[in-house]
């Protein structure tokens, strides 16, 4: 309650906070947080998280690759409902596209290593902060001699978006 009282009595210079992810925006509004803030504290919706702003062509390419019986698509659960131009990965899976949900990129390595007869394509989506995890995945695959694992990347960087926002 002390935090809420402090925020509501804030009388300093105007503050503007940007949430980056659409899920965060939805939760902030669902919980009524904007109504609790004084007029001097403003919340602004930002450019969107990497999943929220994934282009349909990327999903379409994953579906195309996953419909090939030689391939297995591996992705995080939040990517399953992102729309492609005609369907999501979840909908494509119901139509025979091979899509596996994992909790860690290293799960993709484990799956590929256990099944060398199929190609595994990991949907590597994220901000620049996730790039080291994907680099580690590639390094581990190389060190372990796993040749049937590929990454289809859709990595976004925040500094250009932040620079543009600050300039405008």
Question: Which of 161 and 136 is assigned the larger pLDDT?
Answer: 136
Amino acid 20: pLDDT: 77
Amino acid 27: pLDDT: 85
Amino acid 157: pLDDT: 82
Amino acid 115: pLDDT: 98
Closest CA to 156 of 20, 57, 63: 20
In the predicted structure, residue 156 carries a pLDDT above the cut 90 = no
Amino acid 63: pLDDT: 98
SS3 135: helix
Answer CATH for 56-156 from 3.40.50.720, 3.40.630.40, 3.90.1570.30, 3.40.50.11740: 3.40.50.11740
Q: Are 75 and 89 in contact (CB under 8 A)?
A: yes
- For the chain, the domains span 2-45, 56-156
DSSP letter assigned to residue 88: B
**Alpha helix (H) ranges present in the chain?**
2-8, 22-30, 33-36, 56-67, 89-94, 105-114, 131-143, 159-167
Tens digits of residue pLDDT in 20-75: 777 778 788 889 999 999 999 998 887 777 787 889 999 999 999 999 999 999 99
pTM of structure = 0.76
Question: Which of 151 and 49 is assigned the larger pLDDT?
Answer: 151
Tens digits of residue pLDDT in 138-147: 999 999 999 9
Tens digits of residue pLDDT in 82-140: 999 999 999 999 999 999 999 999 999 999 999 999 999 999 998 888 899 999 999 99
Confidence of residue 3 (pLDDT cuts 50, 70, 90): confident
């Amino acid at each position: 309650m002390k935090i809420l009282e402090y925020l509501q009595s804030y009388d300093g210079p105007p503050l503007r906070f940007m949430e980056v992810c659409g899920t965060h925006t939805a939760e902030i509004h669902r919980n009524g947080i904007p109504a609790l803030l004084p007029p001097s504290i403003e919340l602004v919706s930002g450019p969107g998280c990497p999943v929220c702003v994934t282009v349909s062509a990327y999903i379409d390419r994953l579906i195309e690759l996953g419909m090939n019986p030689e391939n297995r698509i591996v992705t995080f659960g939040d990517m399953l409902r992102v729309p492609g131009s005609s369907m999501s990965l979840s909908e494509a899976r119901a139509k025979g596209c091979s899509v596996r949900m994992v909790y860690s990129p290293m799960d993709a390595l484990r799956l590929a290593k256990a099944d060398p007869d199929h190609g595994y394509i990991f949907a590597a989506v994220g901000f620049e902060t996730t790039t080291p995890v994907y680099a580690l995945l590639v390094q581990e695959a190389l060190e372990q001699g796993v040749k049937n694992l590929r990454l289809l990347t859709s990595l976004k960087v925040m500094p250009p978006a932040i620079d543009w926002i600050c300039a405008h």
